[in-house]
Amino acid sequence: MPGSVVAGIAAVRRPGELLIGHPSGVTPAKVQARLEGGSAVFDVLGFSRTARRLMAGSAYLPLS
């Protein structure tokens, strides 16, 4: 998303693809998002699965 931290540091190699680095290499993730009413709406978010955990995280969304 324009103006985000990721957009500020990411190098766009292929539109719709985000490369995530981890100890065993790089995993490509497919991402398609748009702004709707000031919020990000993800139409596509996907990546290949590996046999071990690469990361853990939480997402907090407003109730409204």
Complete DSSP assignment for 1-64:
-TTSHHHHH---SSTTEEEEEETTEEEEEEEEEEEETTEEEEEEEEE---SS------------
Distance, in Å, from the CA atom of 36 to the CA atom of 34, rounded to the nearest integer, reads 6
pTM for this prediction: 0.47
**Confidence band (pLDDT; 50, 70, 90) for 61?**
confident
Look at residue 50 in the predicted model and tell me its pLDDT: 63
Is residue 31 within 8 A of residue 42, CB to CB? The reply is yes
| Tens digits of residue pLDDT in 14-59 | 778 878 887 878 888 888 888 888 888 888 888 776 667 777 888 8
